Structure 1
Amino acid sequence: MTREALKTLFYPFETDALDAPGVDSRVLFFGSEPGFRLPEGFSAELHCVQGFRPHLRALQSAGRNVMPRAEGTDYDMALVLAGRHRGQNELWIAEALERVAPGGTVLVAGGKDDGIASLRKRIGSLVPLIDALPKYHGVAFWLCRPEGDEAAAGLRAENPPVIVEGRFHTGPGMFSFEKADAGSQLLLDHLPEKISGHVADFCAGWGYLAAHIADLTPPLASLDLYEADFEAQEAARTNVPQASSVFWQDLLAEPVERRYDWIVMNPPFHQGRAAEPDIGQRLIEIAAKALKPGGRLVMVANRQLPYEPVLSSAFGSSQEIARDNRFKVFLARR
């Protein structure tokens, strides 16, 4: 189902509040998600920016020109589909201001529940806004790139890269970018001491678990990381120099070619606001297939998620080895 904010983003063109960019125009689209329909008359060359691999693959399948990071300058217009991460929204707008030509239009839209009102106020304090339109439980607003770079520089200064625990490089938009999440910490505290051989970290994020596994249990035969978010896996390459390979991969759709003795996993349980336990259930099944006979999975999950049946079905044996008031840790053997 198309996110409402996508419809909000294109609404100014449908109402003629903004002229749809013509065939000779180049438009950069930050945070693009699959399922959008271009308004009538929108015939510009569209360059989508999307680092979440499932969305990128869906956009590619729809015939869109898509890349994980923006490239090029002097675009006639930039679109920004704002999400729930304030820092990432502001960095996208900063980059949009840098990459459109002077006088080019930057159009931003987001949902009311995702903080679009505060984002509009923040950007309006830096750059004069031309107009705004509410629609579909969201707001679209737009501005022209000013001559100077002060606005973009200010947004970047407010959202610098982050260093966690003095060693992990992260940034706005990554999951739990300011500190290691509590689930990963619980899993780390209860890792079996005998992890060895060929090891993989599924849903590795920016590399917190993998780095500690490399520290705690040397020497491993190999250590591979799998992550769907482009920026997070790029950070993991820096944060886990011991990694044998780092794969930017949609584990739910792209096959795992290697086989492992151990897999560690802190799987996501939602992509939108609602819990989607089937994501973790499918990842458990994929992990079982990626393990060698006798291989083991150790994973953490929210306490309320019903993973026990699929663990029993996919593995020869499984047990809960730890829990707290929010999470539980499982150990399973194929």
Structure 2
Amino acid sequence: MAREYGKLYIRAWSNGFTKLPARAQRTYMFLLSQPDISNAGTLTLALRRWANCVGDETAQDIEDDLKYLAARGYVVVDEGCEELLVRTYIKWDGGWRSPNMMVSIKAAASQALSETIRATLREEITKLDTSTLPKKVNERTGRSTKDFVELLIAQLADELAGDEKDPEVADWGSETLQGTLPLTLSETLPERVSKSNPSRKGLAKGFGKGSSTTTTTAIDSTAIDTTTRVNNREKTANRSYTPQFEQFWSLYPQHRRKEKPRAFTEWQKATRRAEPDEIIAGLKAYLTGDVTYAPYPAKWLKTDSWQDGPDLSRQVEASWSAPAMARRESNLANLQSYISQRQGRQPQPTQKQGRLIGGAA
């Protein structure tokens, strides 16, 4: 059943959410109302499509908004897998209280591509408070609603137990904790905000140090460990890459190269499933097809795409040579002419006149 609305509880306006700048709030509410958001709160990252829904923002502006929200724990963004999670969506949507909906949530969470997002989902479902769920045992199932929901939560937590957070993904957007975002972000905020409400002067200047959101987190106000984020950046700066990965990186389509550290993490995992030479050979075969819409390297590796071969779906028309196309068009014209001639030779059926209804015999 298609979603017709997104839930935003009134109590959201009585905690840390109110300290977010207007643009960050709008982007968060925009995500909640997307028709393709899953029951687990996951979305396919679609910056350009989302920017088309806003009259005064670009894809870069949307990305800046997401970085601001990610740094404060509202969302988790995995650019390598092109996937986003509204972190507390399951909790605040409330569907998990229904056993049938919890089954759908479990399925959606299991289908998440990002390992970091799956690990985050595991954390979130184990925080759910099931103490207020109905305890009356259903005669048909032999379980209460509470028992059934807790069973599904335990099954999902066990299924996601092997997933770990990637520091590169968890650290995404953390630069917004250290200073202001690009000027283009603050320039789009209306000046009248600071004039009409001087007490919120910091918000009128965008996501700068005037805002008190540097320690604000998600709606449930979970603290952000900024020290961990700084350490993660230091580890990334000191990372060295293997020669075989560098060969893979140099071969990958240049217009899709992004997040090299994230790609290297997936490379290390992929080399446990296949030999490096096999992966590189698979990439070379993949490059013989259409790579215009190739995924980011991390996603390509995560989905074992070296086994898929080249994408020939967009090369059908290109495979026709000019003489072949001419012969094809000529044959079609001859066929149409033949059909027209046959239709012209067929005798037209004669119409037998009958009596008019109500007329003379």
Shared topology, TM-score over 0.5? Answer: no
Higher helix share: 2
Higher strand share: 1
Determine which structure has greater relative contact order: mean sequence separation of CA pairs < 8 Å that are 6+ residues apart, divided by chain length. Answer: 2
Question: What TM-score do the two structures reach when normalised by structure 2?
Answer: 0.32
Question: What TM-score do the two structures reach when normalised by structure 1?
Answer: 0.34
